[in-house]
Structure 1
Amino acid sequence: MSGMDDTEALAGIGTFARRVGLTPSALRFYDDCGILRPAHVDGATGYRYYAPDQEPRAVLVRRLREAGLPLVDASVVLDGDPEEARAVLAAHARRTRDTAAAAQAAIDGLLRDLSGDGERAAARVGGAELAGAVRQVAPSVARDAVRAEFPVLGCVLVELTDQEVRLVATDRYRLAVRALRPDDITSAPRDLLVDADTMKEIASWAVRLPEVVIEVDDRGARVHGGGEQRSLPAVDGTFPDYRIVLDDLPAVRHRLIVDRDALRAVLADHEGGPVILRTDERHRLVVSRGTTEAEVPAIDTRPPVRIAFAPEVLLPAVEASVGPDVLLEISSTTRPVVVRSADQGGFTTLVMPVLG
């Protein structure tokens, strides 16, 4: 682009997102992945702009994602030859049919087996949404010896701000943050520590409700919905300042977009020891552990990288992600790695690598 006038025919990310039926967060994710780059990025503001001739590709990306196609396969449809694209789509259709049939069989089996005082903060969210958030952060809660030594790490931090509800958990090796956008919120920022087991019980109860209200005041905290109420007993202690960790993250040097189910299977089905992820000049991702190696479908958007993780730390982060893909943002082999997905911009997990 030669000047600011050249951007007049371009659309900002919000306008372009509405035209093609994607969200701005998804467009930012596809830019990071190299799937759909903006036509222009303002050097001063970082704002992204898109050209009209990019709309067909964006609509195709949306349609592929609506079909549940992993980005690894979507890239073949977008940029491969027609024969490769048809083969990828046919294989995905078979997998989708098999998955739907298995789910239907499981459901059929289940059906057969069933014959205010002081300042107040309140936020109304979907019951299933709250339950899902608890499910995502719970794997990062400390266990056993670490929990015994640092009881606050066995808790979930619940924060009510003037705009969102955040659930945070960490065991010092992982950090999970899930932000919820309430349907309604009473502005009086409050936070409390709640035992992780209590939060899981709340999640099991809330998941069947259309909506619940989280309420915190000087009398304590509670969740109510469907004519019932559950207490949220607060735990005394000071939770680590997770914002320092997030603010201190260095620039990303490597991005790996990985088929989530394939990576999860490899992490869960190998011998002991650290798991090593490495890419090569051909952009293949090889996952090895001990004497076992497996090639996993992936897109590598940066130079080759080699990094190791404790599988019991990485696996829960991968399982807690949403959608068919998982994105690993790597700054170095010794700093926290960000694990996220296109399908849920409000959830972030940080995982510490290990020497391997």
Structure 2
Amino acid sequence: MRLTISEFARVVGLAPSALRFYDDCGLLPPAFVDAANGYRYYDRSQQPRARLLRDLREIDLPLPEVRIALDADPAEVADLVRSHLRTLEAKSTATRAAAERLLTQLVSHRTTAVIGGPELASAIRQVAPAAAGPSGGHAASAGGVGAGELEFVLSCVLIELSPEEITFVATDRYRLAVRTVRPVEFGGVAGRVLVRAEELAGVARWAAAGDVVRAEVDGGLRLVRGDESRELAVVDAEFPAYQQILDGLTPPACRVVVDRVGLLDVLVGRDVVAFDIDSESLRIGDEVKLDAIGSGAVRVGFTASLLAAALEASVGPDVLLEICEPARPVVVRSADQGTFTTLVMPVRLDG
């Protein structure tokens, strides 16, 4: 008995439009087509093929594989379905992960980073002293920054968070300190926050007591160590474009490695010091000479207290000085910790 396309569609659970499409594809042609009016008619014997076609399409099996399955034995069809399910599961996992990343970016501004406690404490102790002293002013807006507002901003530490590294930056215009730390874990989107140096310095000892500290940024900055946490207010202000300063540094004309503690001792009780540096020594007039290893030669002056602060924040027995020219920032690197860098402005020497 022949069935019209509408009748056959109801029996097998396919829409008439789908039957016309599968006819055009050659997957399920009707048993008879009336030449006079073009009406399609189906035979009841076609019902198993139509139902199989329906089920294969419901699991989104691609048409080329459907074509194979319709004429294959049940075992081959089962293998095709299992393989397709594995593909769907893998795609579902990837889709879910991508959707979660997208939702995190669109819906939540929360960023989390897990940092080693001692590393966090070390970064704070090295960078926070480079910030300007408290000004008692008000936070600057993203617009123009006045002198008082800039003074307030410079009393803060910039913290930049990304999956690759956490960067701590502070400056008082005469000194710039930068320290990077690799996060143990990272979640959310990259971002930056500005916090008062004084407040950040206050949690250094607390952070050092934990194996890890989790930093959570969501409107404010929350540091979590075990069951304890510390809340730090975030300053809404624009921090100076420090990266432009670093990128603008020219290759050093003179590089010298010198004893850090010995150089610190030389600076005690002095105001301004003039160094004559070459590849073998660092001299202050005829009174002091420190052995050095490096290249190039230069005469350069420093405010003793500024250079001493940079040396105190460094670690290890030696320190590396990189000098472009006497009037440009001098890079002070810790020989034992390449992730910490300080820039110190030299002073002009008479004569």
Interval of TM-score (by shorter of Structure 1 and Structure 2): 0.5 to 0.7
Query: Contact between 2:163 and 2:183, CA under 8 Å: does it hold in 1?
Result: no
Task: Decide whether the 8 Å contact of 2:121 with 2:204 is kept in 1.
Answer: yes
- Give the corresponding residue for 2:276: 278
The C-alpha deviation readout for 1:85-112, integer Å capped at 9, x for no partner, is xxxxxxxxxxxxxxxxxxxxxxxxxxxx
Equivalent residues of 1:262, 1:297 under 8 A apart: no
Residue of structure 2 aligned with 1:331, choices 324, 332, 348? 324
Q: SS at the partner of 2:123?
A: helix
Map of 1:1-356 to 2, 5 A cutoff? 118-143=108-133, 149=148, 150-217=151-218, 219-268=219-268, 270-271=269-270, 273-279=271-277, 283-287=280-284, 293-302=287-296, 304-356=297-349
**Amino acid in structure 2 at the alignment position of 1:238:** E
Give the residue type in structure 2 aligned to 1:131. A
Distance in 1 separating the partners of 2:233 and 2:227: 20
Aligned pairs, number: 233
Counterpart-to-counterpart distance in 2, 1:284 and 1:167? 33
Q: Which residue of 2 aligns with 1:79?
A: none
Contact 2:280–2:291 (CA under 8 A) maintained in structure 1: no
> Does the residue aligned with 2:336 lie in a helix, a strand or coil?
coil
Compute the displacement of 1:215 (Å). 0.9
Amino acid at match of 1:323: G
Residues 258 and 326 in structure 1, CA contact (< 8 A), matched pair in contact too: yes
Contact 2:153 2:238 in 1 (8 A): yes
- Listed one character per residue, the Cα deviations across residues 90-142 of structure 1 (whole Å, up to 9, x for unaligned) are xxxxxxxxxxxxxxxxxxxxxxxxxx982221111111111110111122111
Matches of 2:330 and 2:204, distance apart in 1? 28
CA displacement 1:5-43 (0-9 Å, x = unmatched): xxxxxxxxxxxxxxxxxxxxxxxxxxxxxxxxxxxxxxx
| Cα distance change, pair 278–153 in 1 and its aligned pair in 2 (3 A) | same
Following superposition, the deviation at residue 144 of structure 1 comes to 6.0
Q: Distance in 2 between matches of 1:156 and 1:200?
A: 10
> What stretches of structure 1 of length at least 5 have no aligned partner?
1-115
Task: For residue 202 of structure 2, give the secondary structure of its aligned residue in structure 1.
Answer: helix
SS in 1 for 2:337: coil
* Gaps in structure 2 of 5+ consecutive residues: 1-103, 138-146
Q: Deviations over 1:308-334 (max 9, x none)?
A: 000111111111111111000011000
Do the aligned residues in 1 keep the contact of 2:193 with 2:234 (CA within 8 Å)?
yes
Residue 297 of structure 1: SS of its match in structure 2? strand
Alpha carbons 1:161, 1:187 under 8 Å: kept: no
Quote how far apart the aligned CAs of 1:246 are: 0.5
* Deviation for aligned residue 1:245: 0.2
Larger radius of gyration: 2
- TM-score, normalization by structure 1: 0.62
Deviations 1:255-275 (A, max 9, x none): 01010010011112x34x311
Query: 1:233–1:338: structure 2 CA closer, same or farther, 3 Å change rule?
Result: same
DSSP 3-state at the match of 1:192: strand
Using the alignment, how far apart are the partners of 2:135 and 2:223 within structure 1?
30
Contact 2:134 2:152 in 1 (8 A): no
Q: Distance in 2 between matches of 1:145 and 1:187?
A: 33
Partners of 2:281 and 2:221 in 1: how far apart? 50
For the 8 Å contact 2:109–2:188, the answer to whether it is kept is no
2:276 partner letter: R
Distance 1:330 1:144 in 2: 30
8 A contact 1:276–1:306 mirrored in 2: yes
* Cα shift at 1:145: 6.7
Which secondary structure does the structure 2 equivalent of 1:198 belong to? helix
